[in-house]
Amino acid sequence: MFEKLFDVFSRREQNLPNVAIKPLTREFRNRVLMLLRDTLQNQFHAFLRRLHQKAAYLYGKFGLSEASAHSSPEDDLLNFLGTCSDEQFLDLIELIFRSDLPGITWPDNPLIQGINDFFRIDALPYHLTGYSMEETETSFHGAPAMSIRIAEFPQIIRRDSEVVHQSAMEPALTLLSAPEFKHANDEFLKALEDHRKSDHRDCLAKCGSAFESVMKVLCAKNSIPFKEKDTASALLKALLGNGRLDQFWEQPLILIATLRNRLSSAHGAGAEAKVISEHVATYAVNSTASAILLLCSEFG
């Protein structure tokens, strides 16, 4: 019942290296609330009451702000959002999308684009992902049918390079939100999380897994024979043998799997522990995003 409630930004970002990060601006906080108010209109205050309930469970407090004793739930929440830590404010943004938003449909939720615009306007190092969808089999009047449901709700991730983020990371995350890429999306989001936590060996492992998962989906979509236990090398050879990309692409693309095999936690470290530098992990996540875009453009 509460499992997803506690999977929020501040808990995912625990034990991060002590690196200075640009704080949220007062203007950013105000704009998010104004966008929510103008989008929900006469449902705004009722929504705040529901969001207050989720926040109370998340932080284990009946009242969120110091003025809670004499406040309504919605006023208590608004006071809290004006004074809470940046991490808590980002938590509440994520909880907005796990709540019933009257009159708004997913996955094309206009609040996502608006909040990302606000991040960019104030040059804040964050990005709000979209919904990740998956297909499930249901029954309609006794006949099998397919339906689409939400697999993952929007999450806030850190972004480090604006150029790379806009040209590779953001398009790759958008592409992976499609139902057929559910597993690859989960793996890649976990790779990004490991990167932010400086768990670089696990980051390389999950980059390799996401890359393999994407290639399996593309093989299936293009009726290219493969086996579920095929390695990245076998999958890549199968794709390149059935597309227009030249064979020399095999060497740069297979490097993602090589990093996993040689350096990641997917294999034992042996007598000497492997120490992976941050710039190697950064290269891995950026290369994985670019490789996914390249192969999906060719075979998607």
Kindly indicate the confidence band of residue 205, based on its pLDDT and cuts at 50, 70 and 90. Answer: very high
CB atoms within 10 A of CB 242: 15
The CATH homologous superfamily to which domain 161-300 belongs is: Nucleotidyltransferases  domain 2 (1.20.120.330)
Kindly indicate the confidence band of residue 163, based on its pLDDT and cuts at 50, 70 and 90. Answer: very low
Q: What is the DSSP letter of 22?
A: P
CB atoms within 10 A of CB 119: 19
Answer with the residue of higher pLDDT: 74 or 149. Answer: 74
pTM: 0.67
Side chain identity, residue 149:
R
**Residue spans in the chain of domains classed CATH 1.20.120.330:** 161-300
Q: pLDDT over 70 for what percent of the chain? A: 87
CB atoms within 10 A of CB 66: 11
Beta strands in 109-207 (DSSP E): 126-128, 132-140, 143-152, 156-158
Stated length of the chain: 300
Question: pLDDT at residue 1 above 50?
Answer: yes
pLDDT tens profile 242-281:
999 999 999 999 999 999 988 876 655 444 557 788 889 8
Closest CA to 209 of 269, 285, 144, 135: 285
Question: pLDDT at residue 152 above 50?
Answer: yes
Residue 130: phi and psi, rounded to 5, are -90, -175
